[in-house]
Amino acid sequence: MAAIVRNGVTIDDTFAEAFPMAGTGIIVTAANEKWVLEAARAMTGFATSVIACGCEAGIDRLLSPEETPDGRPGARLLIFGMDAGGLAKMLVTRLGQCILTSPSSACFEGLEGETKIDLGNAIRYFADGWQISKKFAGKHYWRMPVMEGEFLCEAKTGLTTKAVGGGNLLFLAADAAKAMIAAEIAVEAIHKVEGAIMPFPGGVVRSGSKVGGKYKGMMASTNDAYCPTLKGVTKSALTPDIGSVLEIVIDGVTSEVVAEAMRVGLKAVVDLGPEEGALRVSAGNYGGMLGPHHYHLRDLAP
């Protein structure tokens, strides 16, 4: 099939290839939104790719006091890993270093999964024997004394093995400014999809990669087919009118969530049009050999 055109934007006849992941979530609350965000950004920092970071994480959405267990401002954070064991280790490390340490924070279950993994159960020993176990309304919590006062943390949170990582969209534009506008419009739209995160800075990655490379030991290297400065010296996927490419990578708690996130992101860029944003939209795949989840742009197009 040939590419299709919507509102002047060319949509490549290709697909994003994604793979199964383990996923979990927590709710972080604090005295005000400033400290919610401080804790959330610390917790989800350096978590752009499992290739080097051990996990992928992001802020799913901010929560009003009416939506949180303790009636304070909060945020729901999602964390993804390649397997449940590795994810559990990353969750506990980040909880202890980034949430326990953050002033006024408390932590609660943020995902109802098919099984549970430890939260407070794993870090309660920091309290050196002064921790107190509390059960209330069918929930189990740990109260841990800290210099500020007390840290409240739910004992466990849910884990799912039905999560998906690697959904993606590529925005091909005339220049870097227009590529950025397209990417920002898509990020804004995708943020409204509950259960999906975009783990790269601001939701956008400029250094898209391919598997392997010319140097020994490289798991991934620059996606030269989409680098505009290499058009004349590599097998380029870019036409002469393309001067810049940006990518969005999406993780979701289910395959359906990833598909919806890609759909709304694609629609936002199509609605923007080629004069202000992307001339083309494409997606990254590995010929269908890496992951079982294939999201065809033709099926997602508005």
The fold of 4-18+162-300 is Alpha-Beta Plaits (3.30.70)
With bands split at pLDDT 50, 70 and 90, how would you rate the model's confidence at 158? very high
Is the pLDDT at 32 greater than 80, yes or no? Answer: yes
Predicted confidence at residue 297, as pLDDT, reads: 98
- DSSP E strands in the chain: the ranges are 4-6, 9-11, 15-29, 56-63, 74-81, 106-109, 115-118, 132-136, 139-146, 149-154, 156-173, 196-197, 209-211, 220-222, 244-252, 278-282, 293-296
With bands split at pLDDT 50, 70 and 90, how would you rate the model's confidence at 211? confident
Q: Closest Cα partner for 263 from 299, 215, 226?
A: 299
- What pTM did the predictor assign? 0.95
Overall average pLDDT of the 43-64 stretch: 96
With bands split at pLDDT 50, 70 and 90, how would you rate the model's confidence at 223? very high
Decide whether 4-18+162-300 matches 22-160 in CATH topology: yes
Domain 22-160 coded CATH 3.30.70.520: yes
Predicted confidence at residue 249, as pLDDT, reads: 98
Distances (CA, A) of 238 to 13, 104, 179, 224, 244: 15, 50, 14, 10, 9
Predicted confidence at residue 1, as pLDDT, reads: 65
269, 277 Cβ separation under 8 angstroms? yes
Tokens representing 183? 């990417």
What is d(CA 292, CA 43) in angstroms, rounded to the nearest whole number? 29
Overall average pLDDT of the 55-75 stretch: 98
With bands split at pLDDT 50, 70 and 90, how would you rate the model's confidence at 210? confident
Overall average pLDDT of the 46-54 stretch: 94
For the chain, the C-alpha Rg in angstroms (whole number) is 21
72, 28 Cβ separation under 8 angstroms? no
What is d(CA 45, CA 201) in angstroms, rounded to the nearest whole number? 9
What is d(CA 92, CA 90) in angstroms, rounded to the nearest whole number? 6
With bands split at pLDDT 50, 70 and 90, how would you rate the model's confidence at 111? very high
Overall average pLDDT of the 82-105 stretch: 97
Please give the share of the chain, as a percent, with pLDDT higher than 90: 93
Q: Which amino acid is at 251?
A: D
Predicted confidence at residue 204, as pLDDT, reads: 98
Q: Where are the domains of the chain?
A: 4-18+162-300, 22-160
